[in-house]
Structure 1
């Protein structure tokens, strides 16, 4: 049987460079071992049981899921230690949470309101579930907004029969893509000082945080220097994307493992060509992709509708030809992955596997 080549794939295709992925997973695991911190990668990036298993095999203590539906899908695929990083609030969702807790060895969830604590405690009963206090780092998305609120909520969890208070979550999402490393470090240091006041208040109340979880690909190395977090929720490091390529790197360097293969479908205007990847092929919240290979890397991408994009060749450059393969770096990897059913896994030009996007669309 003739091996399938990357050049034979229908496009657009979500392509995963297996050796680069493996090196990224190994590099982050080695960093965590060296620092003596726990690694709990965030699966909202990849939504894949196969990738989560590889992260666990490399030493991760468990994984994170952004939503309950993701956790259900990955638990069904064999992942047995999960932290859900968004509050699970609606009544039917709390009942699903309780059922999920009975199917895997460890399930944890974050809360930021006493009513939510009571509802989860009632649903779980004596079954038990680990609960973290979600702390607002200043974005006002989720999380308690003061040390006194954190102490009160931790006390409520600890007093609930079926809930196990484990610590706090503190994720500075708005700081992950601050371009200059110095500016990022300054902002993270200020936020770490605030977190220290909350941790001190919890300890003084007899409710010390066993686990302080948070961080991301843009902040993990700085967070480790600051010494407050002891569990890291890094996600995008396994793939990388244009947003992170635009940032000044701190810590280990990670390779571009995720890409979108496209083809040139029209060449009738000199200096610009049309490819078959438009709004439906990638997330657009972070702007346009950049060229990874197949044409001049300085070519500028412009969205041209649902199915089409345009590449504008720089002055003096050569246009790619009709049917040529052009590979793009996704602007934002997480929501781009959610647009595809599968990863095309490659080694060089050889297609070696197709991995399902296990939790695609599981946003509820």
Structure 2
């Protein structure tokens, strides 16, 4: 099979770029120094590639991801998100899976206890206005967790608001400030884990002892623009379905058969190499090509944000050039 046999839109993963990205991260952060975040790719076959490179502990964002990873035989799973229904996790623990859940309140701690989870990390707010207990309250929550019979594995704190800071020196300075908060909380909490970081700070954040990066494996244009040195492994194959020629002083344009329903748009427009993207509509990407294109041409679109893009598709095709080597289900989608 070749890419010309695929129905578009279709996710393509360059096999060589993916292998290089996984190998480069394994060299930079070997073994337990890296806990890949599967929310970026939601694909157990890809996670198995990461495990084969030595990254055998994983970060998850949803209960569904934890359940799917455990079913695939992948273990030491950190649910780095607050949940109020952990009932699907207890049976996994009973069957031998190591499941750790992030908590930041009495309510989320109670949910972990009720769900049959035995290990937690204390999620600490290090500056991103999202989840996390205040650093000076982390020790108190850890004490409550121990009183409830929980084992405390440590702390986590995500400096997600810094991942795309364009100036590297400024990104490093701000990361250090955030991690000072996390380390202070860890002093009160204890445990072996200081977990955090992401693709944008993986080489900067030396204060955590495990990094939760995810996007590095497939990459997107937002991280490429921020100077993150991994290859663009994932593209979105699309077909040109309409072309309007230039007329007088009015430029021409073309339309591809994927839009808002197939692309994560929160980081801006996707990129069409050799063209200027004008806008995306529900089912369309409208672009002005530098060289003429024709109806029926196949193009490869680079998404600006990999995580929501992948979650919109049922499968990804691993390719080398135009040859389709494998097709992997995006099997961790849904809730």
TM-score between the two structures when normalised by the length of structure 2: 0.94
Shift, 1:146, TM fit: 2.9
Which residue does 2:249 correspond to in 1?
none
Which residue does 1:268 correspond to in 2?
244
Shift, 1:196, TM fit: 2.7
- Deviations 1:38-64, CA, capped at 9 Å, x for gaps: 211000001111011111111113111
Gap runs ≥5 in structure 2 = 247-251
- Deviations 1:123-178, CA, capped at 9 Å, x for gaps: 42xxx62210000012231111132x1111111122222x2111001111111111
Distance 1:119 1:7, change over 3 A: closer
Where in structure 2 are the equivalents of 1:78-157 lying within 5 Å?
A: 78-89=73-84, 93-124=85-116, 129-147=118-136, 149-157=137-145
Which residue does 1:305 correspond to in 2?
281
3-state SS of the aligned residue for 1:25? Answer: helix
Which residue does 1:6 correspond to in 2?
3
Q: Please tell me whether residue 329 in structure 1 is matched to residue 302 in structure 2.
A: yes
Give the alignment's Cα RMSD to 1 decimal. Answer: 1.6
Which residue does 2:196 correspond to in 1?
214
208-217 or 270-279, which deviates more:
270-279
Q: Distance in 2 between matches of 1:268 and 1:291?
A: 17
- Whether the 8 Å contact between 1:66 and 1:84 is mirrored in structure 2 is yes
Q: Distance in 2 between matches of 1:277 and 1:336?
A: 11
Q: Following TM superposition, where does structure 1 have runs of at least 4 consecutive aligned residues deviating by more than 3 angstroms?
A: none
Distance 1:286 1:123, change over 3 A: closer
Distance 1:199 1:106, change over 3 A: same
Q: Distance in 1 between matches of 2:114 and 2:237?
A: 49
Shift, 1:37, TM fit: 5.4
Q: Please tell me whether residue 248 in structure 1 is matched to residue 224 in structure 2.
A: no
* Correspondent of 1:166 among 153, 161, 174: 153
Which residue does 1:16 correspond to in 2?
13
- Whether the 8 Å contact between 1:263 and 1:323 is mirrored in structure 2 is yes
Q: Please tell me whether residue 342 in structure 1 is matched to residue 334 in structure 2.
A: no
3-state SS of the aligned residue for 1:281? Answer: coil
- Deviations 1:62-102, CA, capped at 9 Å, x for gaps: 1111011111122222222210010121xxx2222222322
Q: Distance in 1 between matches of 2:105 and 2:302?
A: 39
3-state SS of the aligned residue for 1:343? Answer: strand
Gap runs ≥5 in structure 1 = none
Q: Please tell me whether residue 191 in structure 1 is matched to residue 170 in structure 2.
A: no
Shift, 1:304, TM fit: 4.5
3-state SS of the aligned residue for 2:266? Answer: coil
Distance 1:350 1:151, change over 3 A: same
Q: Distance in 2 between matches of 1:361 and 1:64?
A: 17
Q: Distance in 2 between matches of 1:106 and 1:312?
A: 51
TM-score between the two structures when normalised by the length of structure 1: 0.86
300-309 or 339-348, which deviates more:
300-309
Distance 1:238 1:211, change over 3 A: same
Q: Distance in 2 between matches of 1:339 and 1:220?
A: 26
3-state SS of the aligned residue for 2:40? Answer: coil
210-219 or 278-287, which deviates more:
278-287
- Whether the 8 Å contact between 1:49 and 1:78 is mirrored in structure 2 is no
Shift, 1:197, TM fit: 2.3
